[in-house]
C-alpha cells in the first residue's frame, strides 16, 4: 500500500487518482462508519451514510481549505449526513427546562461493550445528542443548529440520556 501525506493524498484525489481515493477511504472508513453508526444506531443507515459521505468528500474536496485536518473535515461531513439521515425520525420529549444539570456518578469501571450496548439502546434523540456531545465533542449550540432545536432542548435531552443510561447501567448485565 502506498503511503501518502495529507497534502499528497488531497492533491492526488483532486486529480482523480483512484489509488489515492482508495487510500483516503481506507484510512478513514472504520472511524467514520463508527461515527455514523453511533449517531444513527442502525447498521444499514451507517453504511448508507458512509457511502454517501465519501462520494460527497470526493465531490467537494476542492473546497477543503486546510483550516483543519482532513480527518476533521471528513468527520463533519459524515456527522452532518448521519444527523440528516435520522432527523426526521427523532422525536424529542415534551420539553421541560432542566435548571441544574446534576453530575451523574457512573460508579466504578464499566465494561466498554456493555456501555456501547446501553448507548445503542437509548431512544434516537437521546442517543444522537449523547453521542454528539459526550463522544464526538460537539457543543450544545452546534447540536442545536444541526438538529434545528433549541440549545436548551439539547441540554435537556443530554441530561435525560445520562439519567436513562445510569438506570440501565445500574441493572445487572443480561
User: In this structure, what C-alpha cell is assigned to residue 81?
Assistant: 449526513
Give ∠ CA 107-112-117 in degrees, rounded to 5. Answer: 100
Give ∠ CA 166-43-38 in degrees, rounded to 5. Answer: 35
Question: Of 133, 120, 135, 124, whose CA–CA distance to 165 is shortest?
Answer: 120
Overall pTM surpassing 0.85 (yes/no):
no
User: In this structure, what C-alpha cell is assigned to residue 3?
Assistant: 503511503
- Correct CATH for 6-87 of 3.90.1150.10, 1.10.3720.10, 1.10.3300.10, 1.10.1740.10: 1.10.1740.10
Question: Of 52, 43, 92, 94, whose CA–CA distance to 74 is shortest?
Answer: 52
Query: How far apart are the C-alpha atoms of 5 and 133, rounded to whole Å?
Result: 30
Q: What is the pLDDT of residue 35?
A: 92
| Domain regions of the chain by residue span | 6-87, 112-170
Query: How far apart are the C-alpha atoms of 51 and 25, rounded to whole Å?
Result: 10
Q: What is the pLDDT of residue 96?
A: 47
Query: How far apart are the C-alpha atoms of 34 and 36, rounded to whole Å?
Result: 5
Query: How far apart are the C-alpha atoms of 22 and 80, rounded to whole Å?
Result: 22
Q: For residue 91, with 0-12 CB atoms within 10 Å meaning exposed, 13-18 middle and 19 or more buried, which class applies? A: exposed
CB atoms within 10 A of CB 154: 26
Q: For residue 83, with 0-12 CB atoms within 10 Å meaning exposed, 13-18 middle and 19 or more buried, which class applies? A: buried
Q: Print pLDDT tens along the chain (174 aa).
A: 567 788 999 999 999 999 999 999 999 999 999 999 988 888 999 999 999 999 999 999 999 998 889 999 999 999 989 988 877 666 555 444 444 444 444 455 566 777 888 888 898 888 889 988 988 888 999 888 888 889 999 999 999 999 998 888 876 544
- Correct CATH for 112-170 of 2.40.170.20, 1.10.10.10, 3.40.1080.10, 3.90.120.10: 1.10.10.10
Amino acid at each position: 500500500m502506498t503511503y501518502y501525506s495529507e497534502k499528497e493524498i488531497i492533491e492526488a484525489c483532486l486529480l482523480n487518482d483512484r489509488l489515492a481515493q482508495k487510500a483516503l477511504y481506507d484510512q478513514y472508513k472504520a472511524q467514520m462508519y463508527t461515527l455514523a453508526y453511533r449517531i444513527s444506531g442502525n447498521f444499514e443507515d451507517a453504511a448508507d451514510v458512509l457511502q454517501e459521505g465519501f462520494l460527497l468528500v470526493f465531490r467537494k474536496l476542492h473546497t477543503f481549505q486546510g483550516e483543519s485536518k482532513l480527518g476533521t473535515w471528513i468527520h463533519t461531513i459524515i456527522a452532518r449526513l448521519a444527523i440528516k439521515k435520522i432527523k426526521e425520525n427523532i422525536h424529542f420529549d415534551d420539553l421541560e427546562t432542566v435548571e441544574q444539570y446534576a453530575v451523574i456518578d457512573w460508579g466504578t469501571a464499566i465494561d466498554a461493550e456493555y456501555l456501547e450496548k446501553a448507548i445503542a439502546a437509548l431512544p434516537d434523540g437521546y442517543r444522537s445528542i449523547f453521542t454528539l456531545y459526550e463522544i464526538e465533542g460537539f457543543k450544545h449550540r452546534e447540536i442545536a443548529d444541526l438538529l434545528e432545536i433549541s440549545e436548551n432542548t439539547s441540554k435537556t435531552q443530554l441530561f435525560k440520556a445520562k439519567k436513562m443510561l445510569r438506570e440501565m447501567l445500574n441493572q445487572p448485565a443480561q
